[in-house]
Structure 1
Amino acid sequence: MEKMRMESVDMTAQNIDKIAALFPICITETMGENGKPKRAVNFELLKQMLSDEVIGGDEAYEFTWVGKKAAIVEANKPIRKTLRPCKEESVNWDSTENLYIEGDNLEVLKLLQESYLGKVKMIYIDPPYNTGKDSFIYPDNYMMDNESYEEGVGLFDEDDLRLFAENNDSNPRFHSDWCSMIYSRLTLARNLLSDNGVLLISIDDNEIENLRKISNEIFGEQNLVNCFIWNCSTAGGIRPKFASKTHEYILCYAKRKENLSMFFAPLSADAKKMYTQQDAKGLYRDKDFIFKNKSTNINQKYLIECPDGEMVRPKDGYIYRFIRERFDEALCDGMVTFKKTSTGPLVTESGEQAHWNIYIKKYLGDAMGAPSTLIPKEMMSIYNVGTQCVQTLFDDTRVFENVKPVDVITYLINMVADKDSIILDFFSGSATTAHAVMQLNAEAGGKRRFIMVQLPEPCDEKSEAYKTGYSTICEIGKERIRRAAKKIAEEYPSASFDGGFRVFKLDDSNMKDVYYSPAEYDQGMLSGLESNIKEDRTDLDLLFGCLLEWGLPLSERMTVFQIDGVDVHVYGMDAEEYRGCKDGMFFYEDNIQMIDNQLYTPPPPPHTHTRVPLLACFADRVPESVIRGIAGMKPLCAVFRDSCFQDSPAKINVTEVFKLLAPDTRVKVI
């Protein structure tokens, strides 16, 4: 029972809560007047978070390095970039909802901030481990050379004498570069997670300590879910001097831990096949489904019907291991055991001793509830299985080394993500995550979607990949998705899964410099600048540039139709839907609009559509008939080239047309 506060609200504490919700990395601890620690705000760090320039002063936060403030600035700094669609390298462009994006992941994450803000359920990344042998290439402007690092940490005194001896084996700059690289990316990644979203990061001993500290700052230490341990290799091969390293870590953080439901790690497809082929004896044991706990959570104190019809519930002081929905799943999967007893912790509806107890089957250490932090070997393969998988897909050519096995990612997806989740991997590598998403959709059903982001890092000219014709890692990743989709379709001929992907490539802005700084151009220079859009940009380039700015997903259906011979792009409707509209007619809700203003009686529901999110026309000249046709369809948004209107009166006329026909439509020009 809670006591009444009997005092006014602590406004300071409330304000700290608000700051913590927006900037968890700015919350620290200090010693209170009573000698006990209390929460406080690191105002220096908060000022840096709200500034687009590096603020002077000593960097003396609890965990810091030279370049930390610059990493914060870099994460918050806007960029003039765009994502250009590449249909020729895509698969099933018109129907797929998967994305493959080539480019520096820091800049790509910035571009995705509005379109995917709070929409990603799971982020998995396998960043460079910083072993000293990695050749990761990320063109961030805060990456330091020796001179800038030594200047930052005061390595030399006023007489240019070295203050301490250089130690190559533990060069702190080695860690500083890596910390800066990961810090800004995790800062941006957190924004993309849904409120019940989860981040999973593979890492080894080289940076596990730094990564955990960085993640604690960005996500808040209270949102650490767990650190899982994966048996990544055997102890074979050359014996080390001290101990064989056979494990790696998978750090798991939640956006808001209080919003997470119980994690669940079901059996892999291979394990299920094994159980159908072998005697199940010895492969599982029964685990208590009810246990002592004084929780008042009614979601874990419900009635269950036993085999003879008796309705049972936990005694006072006990709860079930799962909520009702999870129990029903276990029951359907045949993982529930009912056993007769006269002394169990269950009672009937009336409170009398029940005649049953309930157990959950536990296979090979796979708890039917929260998974173990030490992941059973039977649930995940080791590295050489992942590498062999890719080698087999590429006709026995070893195009990629140290590949995560597919079942590592499927295990994690099963554990944390729903069947319709968006799953992001911005260190895509050979695209194991994309392979895992398709595999899981085919095996277990669902419409999980992936977003892969990968820097087009060149392949070593001596590598098998380069000799086979793959010049960049991106080429390997895209080809792996194509081949994996084909293989999965052959293995699961009746399964329905999305084996396609839309390719986008990071590039400079679609707009010329005059668009951003018109004051720097005089009248004599304007004759060659009739259009502020770069000459090599297509209508599709411009359309996706608009989607990024307006916060619309890049995977929606779209098509093109014509009004008086002028192309109009429709976002949110595919060609088949459009063809279902007679004479280029769009209809939605109860309002019917015709492009040619002729009377038309629409078909009855269910052919009714909601309002079109976006219509775009990028023709050099747009006649008034086209303007009226677009306005008559009442889209939520409409966009045109600025140069398509002959003069200012023409622009004013467009505004008046939309005021008359579509007053709620947002109209913009680029």
Structure 2
Amino acid sequence: MMDKLKMHSPNLTEANIAKLAELFPSCVTEARDEQGRVKQAIDFDQLRQELSDHIVEGPQERYHLNWPGKREALLAANSPIAKTLRPSREESVDFDTTKNLFIEGDNLEALKLLQETYLGKVKMIYIDPPYNTGNDFIYDDDFSEGAAEYLSRSSQNDDFGCRLTANTETNGRFHSDWLTMMHSRIRLARNLLRPDGVIFISIDDCESSSLRHICDEVFGENNLVANIVWQHSVQPKGYTQLFSVHHNHILCYSRSDEYVVQPLERTEKDNKNYSNPDDDPRGPWRAGDVRNALYRPNLIFPIVTPSEKTIDPPENGWRWKKATIKKKIQDGEIVFSTDESRIIRKIYLEDQSGRAPETIWFSEDVGNTRSAASELKGLFNGVAPFDTAKPLKLIDRMFQVAGLQPDDLCLDFFAGSCSTAHARLASMSPGPFIMIQMPEPIDNTKPHGKAAQNLGMATIADIGKERIRRAGNEIQNETGLHGSPLDVGFRVLKVDSSNLEDVYYRPDVLSQDLLSENVDNIREGRSSEDLLFQILLDWGVDLSLPISRQDIDGKTVFFVDGAEKHMALAACFDLDIDEAFVKQLAEYEPLRVVFRDAGFTSDSVKINVEQIFAQKSPNTEVKVL
């Protein structure tokens, strides 16, 4: 049937709502029009909160998930922080060349620091957050403090606050605190995903429904790909009055409709029902359904066989119209049974390029908690220093469904023992990853904690870093690829206070005294490499690009992404920079160059720097720190 002309001008309101829905999915809700019909609408209170740097009041009746602390979660996600990432060479492996990152610190702060550099660049995220079982530790993101506390938490001093708190069931905000913690982090994570990106989140029954509501709000409910049920255990628990629980959930959401679910490779088990009893030249086949799942009266008709017998239609009708069935019979795709009592549709093995992932993942295919513990024991001298690791095959299955390629970036911001990093290194298509884990102290009252302590590890971050080291060594030994392009290294970066003194203040505490600080604004104790990584963050340069040092005219110069002409960035933080040195550096024609603000021999040299680069390297962007 032909489409009818609209005969009216475009509905600009609907178009504007669609645009806002793309920018702010959490602001889309449902309302009733004058006729009482449900329609899509904008939650203006929520939109005001999205565009505000303080908590906005004004709830109204609407369909949405709400809890005490939701507005604080929005504020926590949107508020700026004065922090940086400081490199730790001694804890890294192949620091100068690896493309893998391990970020140690609060994952909310780490996600904020990554927003500019990795906006829309991550193909896949997997997280295994605390399940809120009544004894888990969650992050306490309190943004209601006064000026002094604000400065402290913005890292205007050197105090380091972990902000971990036990979320016991006796807490009146048991669910609310967990929701607040997760909401802000998932919102920031969405920004990092590519348009064709996808996120997987492990969770148990306790918070699975709440987490789904959060993700529906952040990603849009249309972007739910699947609610996967994973058989995490096979051993009966021995409960007498309860079900023995053998599953967890893995929620899968896409960034947009550009994501395409990737089929899994076929196995012998998948192909066992294919055979070729009639020597079909197209090879093995199996019988497929010819019935329509829905009632289609226009597809209800008899089929006449070659011997002029009649085959009655199924109750809902055939899957195809008459002309299509006739063509399939002529092509041999549909054949008749020996007694001509039914038709048989052939589904050919040669047409099956893969198999669709299913929403139930059995432990025999993807492993369980026991196999995960065994994998850890294999790395750590027969003991498991972590009690909630995930099996490598489970995460590798996610890699397959996501379609992760060797150049694609993978992120895990609840890294734990770094099962995700291990799986990435051991996968068929190893590639770059970013792991984020807070240095949460290990509970040495438990067996796994004692095991970790005996191995010299004090925090969960220590476990993760050591696992990557050991997994990398094991993979190199198994493959014999020592010194090869296989990247088993990782660059350790730690969330810390800014390298600059007093770089961020609340307007209500800004004073004239703060505007007259010393000329050199670098915080005491910070190295040139510390400054380099803050520059990379501020400029949005990939934190995993190769770094080299060169001595030019007695000055140390950092080159990022190559030492030849047109590298991504050149940086020199030495003092006594003169015009002769600047002219030599300009010969490299870097895309960006940065100096220390107090590093020039005179004000005239500082003034002339831009002019020198304008003449010798006009495409270079020049800045000072």
TM-score, with structure 1 as normaliser: 0.75
Separation in 2, partners of 1:290, 1:668: 67
Deviations 1:70-108 (A, max 9, x none): 110110000000000111111111221111110000000
Q: Aligned partner of 1:572: which letter?
A: D
1:130/1:207 contact within 8 Å kept? yes
How far the C-alpha of 1:659 sits from its partner, in A, is: 2.3
1:635 and 1:178 map into 2 onto residues whose CA distance is 46
Provide the rounded CA distance (Å) in 2 between the counterparts of 1:205 and 1:86: 39
Q: Is the 8 A contact 2:273 2:286 kept in 1?
A: no
CA distance in 1, matches of 2:177, 2:437: 19
Distance in 1 (alpha carbons) for counterparts of 2:73 and 2:225 = 25
**Higher deviation after alignment, 176-185 or 489-498:** 489-498
**Partner amino acid for 2:459?**
T
Structure 1 pair 240–647 and aligned structure 2 pair: CA distance change class (3 A): farther
Q: Which runs of 5+ in 1 are unaligned?
A: 145-167, 294-313, 320-338, 347-355, 579-585, 588-610
2:258 aligned partner: 259
- How far has the Cα of 1:182 moved from its partner? 0.1
Q: CA deviation at 1:143?
A: 9.6
Q: Deviations over 1:599-622 (max 9, x none)?
A: xxxxxxxxxxxx222111111121
Please report how far the alpha carbon of residue 568 of structure 1 lies from its aligned counterpart in structure 2 after TM superposition: 1.3
**Matched residues in 1 for 2:248 and 2:329: separation?**
43
Asked if the contact 2:124/2:404 (under 8 Å) is kept, the reply is no
Residues 488-507 of structure 1: pairs in structure 2 closer than 5 A: 488-493=475-480, 497-507=486-496
Equivalent residue number for residue 487 of structure 1: 474
Matched, 1:425 2:412: yes
How far the C-alpha of 1:201 sits from its partner, in A, is: 0.3
Matched, 1:552 2:541: yes
Structure 2: distance between partners of 1:384 and 1:283: 34
2:100 is aligned, of 78, 81, 98, to 98
Counterpart among 416, 434, 447 of residue 421 in structure 2: 434
Which of the numbers 111, 116, 122 marks the counterpart of 1:114?
A: 116
The 5 A counterparts of 1:652-663 are 652-663=607-618
Q: Per-residue displacement from partner, 1:486-524 (whole Å, max 9, x unpaired)?
A: 222233335963211111111000001267699746499
Q: Supply the distance in 1 between the matched residues of 2:243 and 2:323 (Cα, whole angstroms).
A: 44
Question: Which of the residues 444, 458, 472 maps onto 1:461?
Answer: 444
Q: Of residues 74, 77, 100 in structure 2, which corresponds to 1:75?
A: 77
Instruction: Determine the C-alpha separation between the residues in 1 that align with 2:229 and 2:597.
Output: 56
**Compared with structure 1, are the counterparts of its residues 71 and 524 closer, same or farther at alpha carbon in structure 2 (3 Å cutoff)?**
closer
The answer for the alignment partner of 1:570 in structure 2 is 559
Residue 54 of structure 1: aligned partner: 55
Structure 2: where are the runs of 5+ without partners?
146-167, 276-283, 293-318, 336-344
CA deviation vs aligned residue, 1:388-436 (integer Å, no higher than 9, x gap): 2112210012311121111110011111133121110000000000010
1:222 is matched with which residue? 222
Q: Paired residue for 1:8?
A: 9
**3-state secondary structure, aligned to 1:199:** strand
Aligned to 1:642: 597
For 1:364-443, list aligned pairs within 5 A. 368-419=354-405, 420-440=407-427
RMSD, aligned α-carbons:
3.4
Contact conserved, 1:424 with 1:450, CA < 8 A, in 2?
yes
Q: Distance in 2 between matches of 1:63 and 1:264?
A: 34
**Partner residue in 1 for 2:243:** 243
2:314 corresponding residue in structure 1: none
C-alpha change, 1:430 and 1:5, in structure 2 (3 Å) is same
Query: Aligned partners of 1:247 and 1:524: how far apart in 2?
Result: 58
- Give the equivalent residue in structure 1 for 2:432: 449
Q: Distance in 2 between matches of 1:286 and 1:77?
A: 59
For 1:181, the equivalent position in structure 2 comes to 181
Q: How far has the Cα of 1:242 moved from its partner?
A: 1.9
CA distance in 2, matches of 1:317, 1:261: 33
- Indicate how the Cα distance of structure 1 residues 59 and 139 shifts in structure 2: closer, same or farther if over 3 A, else same: farther
State the partner residue of 1:651.
606
Is the partner of 1:642 in helix, strand or coil? coil
Structure 2 counterpart of 1:656, one-letter code: Q
- TM-superposed CA distance for 1:239, in Å, is 2.4
Which residue matches 1:311?
none
C-alpha separation in 2, matches of 1:198 and 1:287: 33
Amino acid at match of 1:392: G
Distance 1:521-1:405 versus aligned 2 partners, 3 A rule: same
For 1:292 and 1:497, the matched residues in 2 are separated by 51
Q: For residues 385 and 283 of structure 1, do their structure 2 counterparts lie closer, same or farther at Cα, with a shift above 3 Å needed? A: farther
Which whole-Å CA distance do the structure 1 matches of 2:113 and 2:430 have between them? 24
1:559-606, Cα deviation, whole Å (9 max, x unpaired): 111221111111111xxxx4xxxxxxx44xxxxxxxxxxxxxxxxxxx
Distance in 2 of aligned mates of 1:15 and 1:506: 39
CA distance in 2, matches of 1:266, 1:143: 51
TM-score, normalization: structure 2? 0.81
**Any conservation in 1 of the 2:437–2:461 contact (CA below 8 Å)?**
yes
> Could you say what secondary structure the match of 1:644 adopts?
coil
SS at match of 1:70: helix
Q: Describe the shift of the 1:95–1:188 C-alpha distance in structure 2 as closer, same or farther (beyond 3 A).
A: same
Does the CA-based 8 Å contact 1:179-1:210 persist in structure 2?
yes
The alpha-carbon distance between structure 1 residues 14 and 291, as it changes in their structure 2 partners (threshold 3 A), is farther
Alignment of 1:571-650 (within 5 A): 571-573=560-562, 578=563, 586-587=564-565, 611-650=566-605
Percent of pairs identical after alignment?
42
Q: In the alignment, is the contact (CA less than 8 A) between 2:134 and 2:169 conserved in 1?
A: no
- Contact persistence 1:539–1:618 (CA under 8 A): yes
The residue type paired with residue 219 of structure 2 is F
What amino acid does structure 1 have at the position aligned with 2:568? P
For 2:360 and 2:443, the matched residues in 1 are separated by: 36
